[in-house]
A and B are shown apart, each in its own frame.
Chain A
Amino acid sequence: AQSVSQHNHHVILSEAASLELGCNYSYGGTVNLFWYVQYPGQHLQLLLKYFSGDPLVKGIKGFEAEFIKSKFSFNLRKPSVQWSDTAEYFCAVNLHGSSNTGKLIFGQGTTLQVKP
């Protein structure tokens, strides 16, 4: 079955440190890829998405992600984190099939704690 794996379940960083969260998926076909963030007490919101073209995509709040097709990966990065980045981060995949439905397959999530 198709799945999404996020390597880090809990990450603790100091402010200004660089961030990289890993995401791998298992599906050999065409995919669309997303990173969502859930701040404490808030609902899921989209950070960035990849559909086609340039594999390096930029999102909101200084986040970016790189799609490496050969590695089935879509890692999230930020050069310098802030205390306000403390949140849970989810990688999600939408598989292309005959129906192209909107089913998202989510990873387990990574809790990021940024210490001031």
Chain B
Amino acid sequence: KAGVTQTPRYLIKTRGQQVTLSCSPISGHRSVSWYQQTPGQGLQFLFEYFSETQRNKGNFPGRFSGRQFSNSRSEMNVSTLELGDSALYLCASSWGLAGRSSYEQYFGPGTRLTVT
């Protein structure tokens, strides 16, 4: 089974621009979660999608948004980029419902975003 894939792997953008990151979950997985990883703040939850619906959202400004398509692929968008948005953005997919013993999030390699 192919793992979680994320595109692009690296991205350089200028402050004020917007960016769209893509995530393809493991085949059969219906839930996709996004995280931001920075040296200062560590791994922080952005949002989770399940069957095209956002189920939970982290404490990030409205410039961060996402969506999920019917094939479970997900995108996240960051508008009006700031220098502080430079980070590794991780996507994770899962099959079952959280809280069950089979639950596990499988992580992709991430997209490294640099804002200049």
Contact = CB atoms under 8 A, between A and B. Distances in A.
A104 B46 CA distance: 10
Contacts of A96: 99
A101 B56 contact: yes
A contact residues, range: 20 to 34
Interface of B: 31, 33, 35, 42-45, 48, 50, 55-56, 58, 90, 92, 94, 97-101, 103-110
Contact of A100 (B44, B45, B97): B97
A45 B92 CA distance: 10
A32 B45 contact: no
A52 interface: yes
Interface string A96-116: 100111111111110000000
A52 B92 CA distance: 23
Interface of A: 32, 36, 42-46, 49, 51-52, 90, 92, 94, 96, 99-109
Given A90-B43, A103-B48, A108-B42, A43 B98 contact: no
Nearest to B102: A51
Given A43-B110, A44-B90, A109-B42, A102 B101 contact: no
Contacts of A44: 90, 92, 107
A108 to B, nearest CB: 5
15 contacts: A43-B110, A46-B104, A52-B101, A94-B99, A96-B99, A99-B55, A101-B55, A101-B98, A102-B48, A103-B45, A104-B45, A106-B35, A106-B42, A106-B44, A109-B42
B31 A102 contact: yes
Contacts of A49: 103-104
B101 to A, nearest CB: 4
